[in-house]
Amino acid sequence: MSAWLCAIDHKRIGILYMLSALLFFLAGGMEAMVMRAQLAAPNLKLITPEIYNQMFTMHGTTMIFLVAMPILTGFGVYMVPLMIGANEMALPRLGSLSFWLQFFGGVLLYFSFATGAAPDAGWFSYAPLTEEAFSPGTGLDYWALALLMITGGSVGSAINLIVTIATARAPGMTMRLVPLFVWTTLVASVMIVFALPALAASLVMLLSDRLLHAHFLDSSQGGAPLLWQHYFWIFGHPEVYIVVLPAFGMISEIIPVFSRKPIFGYPFVATSTVAIAFLSYGVWAHHMFAVALGRNFLAVFAAASMLIAVPTGMKIFSWVATMWGGAIRFTTAMLFAVAFLLEFTVGGLSGVAFAAVPVDWQMTDTYFVVAHIHYVLFGGTVFAVLAAVHYWFPKLSGRLLDEKLGRWSFWLIVLGFNNTFFVQHFLGLLGMPRRVYTYPDLPWFGTLNLFSTVGAAVLVFGILLFCANIAMSLFFGTQAGDDPWNAWTLEWAAPSPPLLQNFAEIPEVRSRRPLWDRKHPEAPDWMGAQ
């Protein structure tokens, strides 16, 4: 027990991140199910409006800050040293500090339930609703303090990953040779360093107002509620890419291995990641099109937002081209990766639609937004993470996940996810606003909402099956061996699970597929490169 509490080994900390993310994922999922139950039929009154507000606030905050970020950090902390041929993170004790800050931030957030007043102003908590005069309870204080702790933890782990990738690579592994998951994790970490402080600045203003009676966001005293929106989204839009770029990296590892081809256009995948990072800092106001910001201002932000589709589209093209003509093996990991391509593209397309200002004006704050964000974050990030769990579980545990159970959970999750969220596009187009606790019996509203709720129940069943698969395979799964997928990156050269010292001797790297070189001394990759 104390070995885990005091762990500074990157593999243990990585697993702690993953378990903590799973715990909060189940909590956030329960909050979602409470909402779906309340929305199952028109005019239902299962819970009070106050509880409903707490549910959507806690669901959003949990899924972004306590699930998406930590699970990606967890994979980063576990996998990056293995993938770059290092035995540990560069700053091991900072790794431990970062995790516990993150975890206790989550505990603090959930402690607000015990005080009887969970935060209820939505995950982006717009002023002036969050001001003391309009939200007098302590819920938002917990929210802001918890997020400050989580900010500290996130920045700490990002710094650790940056320093590790910069200084701990195996001999010969230049930045042109690192695996793409390492590239995307590096870019996301740099983005955390630049973006999370904007959240911290927003939270400091909010807390000053609430606890010290300052007037940053208080228009009655000359303050500016709009300042919150600007600062929050200067953090908030890069945040979207912070939680999706490492997912892109996972997909870029998995698709080549199960297509038996190297990634198509490695330099394009890496540079388009950097391009997305730069662009993401110039698009925050597209969350604020409904604010009267001026026509030229809107035009610039609309154009910049559409521009992001170009580097993102390049990635989709690279993945499809990698599969093209490959000898594809549809393992559960590969199924999730292919589903990611389809689902994320749907979310990307509705995103491009939103970048057009008039479309946004029509659809903002409707269920179309809810559908869009879930296709990006669930169809994108969560599907990629599920693919990554199936891909890397043998390395973490030494055992394979059960493929049959895996397939069942895959189809239930795909079916449940699309049933839940696809119809929400239509609900949004019909004009159903998000964040309302119930709705009148308008044509189609009841039917589509019931369909969505049934889909959510199927999704929950699929997720539980996935959890059962993990629990069972941990004890009864087939022994995996070091390299069950015949893969090419260095983590598969270490034992499964890796010993405290990952590599008995640090491997030398001469190409992007060091394990291929080792397995095929007659035709190593670096021969062609020279």
Partner 1 sequence: MTGKVRQRAQLGMAMFLLAEGVFFFLLILAFVYFRAPANLSLQAGSINTALLLASSVSMWRATVYKSAGSRLWLAVTIAFGAAFLIGQAIESLRLIRNGVTMSQGLFGTTFFTLTGIHALHVFAGLVGLAIVPATGLRIMAFYWYFFIILWLAIFLVVYVWSAR
At closest approach, how far in Å is the CB of 491 from partner 1? 22
Of residues 183-202, which lie at the interface with partner 1 (CB under 8 A)?
193-194, 196-198, 200-201
Find the part of the chain contacting partner 1 (CB under 8 A) among 45-53, 209-217, 449-457, 484-492: 209-217
Q: Which two tokens stand for residue 205?
A: 């203003």
Q: Which two tokens stand for residue 69?
A: 């970020």
What is the 3 state secondary structure string of 77-116?
A: HHHHHHHCCCCCCCCHHHHHHHHHHHHHHHHHHHHHHHCC
Quick one: DSSP state of residue 38? H
Print burial letters for 84-123: b (CB count within 10 Å at least 16), e (below 16).
bbbbbbbbeebbbbbbbbbbebbebbbebeeeebbbbbbb
At closest approach, how far in Å is the CB of 515 from partner 1? 26
The pair phi, psi for residue 479, each rounded to 5°, is -60, 135
Site string for partner 1, 111-150 (x = CB under 8 A): ----------------------------------------
Site string for partner 1, 233-252 (x = CB under 8 A): -x------------------
Among 54, 130, 135, 160, binds partner 1 (CB under 8 A): 160
- Nearest-angstrom CA–CA distance, 355 and 299: 10
Site size toward partner 1, by CB under 8 A: 33
Among 123, 143, 216, 492, binds partner 1 (CB under 8 A): 216
Minimum CB distance to partner 1 smaller for 215 or for 407: 215
Does 213 bind partner 1 (CB under 8 A)? Our answer is yes
At closest approach, how far in Å is the CB of 109 from partner 1? 21
> Which residues are CB-neighbours of 499 under 8 A, at least 6 positions away?
none
> What is the Cα gyration radius of the chain?
23
Q: Look up tokens 């449940």; give the residue.
A: 416
Does 214 bind partner 1 (CB under 8 A)? Our answer is yes
Among 19, 94, 97, 314, binds partner 1 (CB under 8 A): 94
Q: Look up tokens 């189940």; give the residue.
A: 26
Does 467 bind partner 1 (CB under 8 A)? Our answer is no
Find the part of the chain contacting partner 1 (CB under 8 A) among 103-111, 163-171, 305-313, 396-404: 163-171
- Nearest-angstrom CA–CA distance, 393 and 252: 17
Among 1, 6, 114, 212, binds partner 1 (CB under 8 A): 212
3-state secondary structure of 464: helix
Strands (E), 15-87: none
Find the part of the chain contacting partner 1 (CB under 8 A) among 62-70, 101-109, 152-160, 242-250: 152-160
How many CB atoms are closer than 10 A to CB 32? 22
| Contacts with partner 1, residue ranges (CB under 8 A) | 90-91, 94, 155, 158-160, 162-163, 166-167, 193-194, 196-198, 200-201, 204-205, 208, 212-216, 221-224, 227, 231, 234
